[in-house]
Amino acid sequence: MNGHVDFPLNGDQIRLIKEAVGRKCEFDRKTRVYKNLHLHHIIGQAEGGGNNYGNLIVLCEHTADDCHDKADHGRILKKKLRAIISRRPKRMRAEIIEILKGNY
Ligand SMILES: [Zn+2]
């Protein structure tokens, strides 16, 4: 263990992150209602992926063409998801980091 404690995100944080990205699937860029968006871990929590900025991306789910399912099954590559995160506007990045810190 490296001493890092990964606190679970609460419902407000999850909702606010979906809001911060414009309530869009960050892969297909289509606006969705909250319940059709999933805060996806690029490295799954079971594999040690945490609730850190670079590991979290908002993807659609419960639709006919579901990006979350594709990402979970390797049909959207992790490097593609990381590239999308790296292109987020500075202001969006700052907002998400504050939400993750609990400052909201
Ligand atoms: Zn999508």
CA of 11 to the centre of ligand 1 (A): 21
CA of 37 to the centre of ligand 1 (A): 8
Instruction: With beta carbons less than 8 A apart as the criterion, state whether 41 and 14 touch.
Output: no
**Contact partners, residue 81, CB within 8 Å, separation at least 6:** 27, 40, 42, 57, 71
CA of 57 to the centre of ligand 1 (A): 11
Q: Along the 104 residues of the chain, how does pLDDT read in single tens digits?
A: 444 557 789 999 999 999 999 999 999 999 999 999 999 999 998 899 999 999 999 999 987 779 999 999 999 999 999 999 999 999 999 999 999 999 99
CA of 4 to the centre of ligand 1 (A): 31
CA of 14 to the centre of ligand 1 (A): 17
pTM for the full predicted model: 0.92
